[in-house]
Amino acid sequence: MSSPVDPKALLASLYHDNHAWLRGWLSRQVRCPQDAADLTQDTFVRAFDAQQLERIEQPRAYLSTVARRLLCSLWRRRKLEQSYLEQLADLPQNYAPSAEDIALVREAIEAIDQALEGLPSRVRRAFLLNRIEAMPQQAIATLLGVSLATVERDLRRAFFHCLAQTRECP
């Protein structure tokens, strides 16, 4: 009978053996040391939360996969933020939101992005087009080149995914 594996010791070993490599790899991807440091830490937090540390056979492949997903989320969030800020710039000055309102919107964008994490891109896009852009389902189907039934199924999937996410929160 083997002794139980200590997940903290596994994470410490994973961190010690791969931190510098992962941070260097991420630095080349994002070209920003602060973003690379944040993404590196987030990757290790995700690795610890996965509770599969004892089954990781190729740590660098595992860590780079987790890091790539975080990179995609970062770039997607920044694209949404940029789009929002561009639309704000078009507003007359007396209608422009305060810095606090902008910060609240950024938080909301991050929460939406986290809630939709793990969904296929088409499902996520259909949901955002419907809920954020208020686009009708038929128009989404035409834009995405899928049937109306597929859009309805994707929206239902995204809705239940978000519902499940909110139930997991404390």
Which domains are delineated in the chain?
A: 1-97 (no CATH), 118-170 (1.10.10)
CB 55 within 8 A of CB 7: no
| Count of CB atoms situated within 10 Å of the CB of 43 | 26
> How many helices (H) and strands (E) would you count in the chain?
7, 0
This prediction has a pTM of 0.58
pLDDT at position 119: 86
pLDDT at position 51: 63
102 exposure class (CB count in 10 Å sphere: 0-12, 13-18, 19+): middle
Distance CA 155, CA 161 (A): 10
10-residue mean pLDDT profile of the chain (170 residues): values are: 66 89 94 91 81 79 91 84 78 77 82 82 90 89 94 94 71
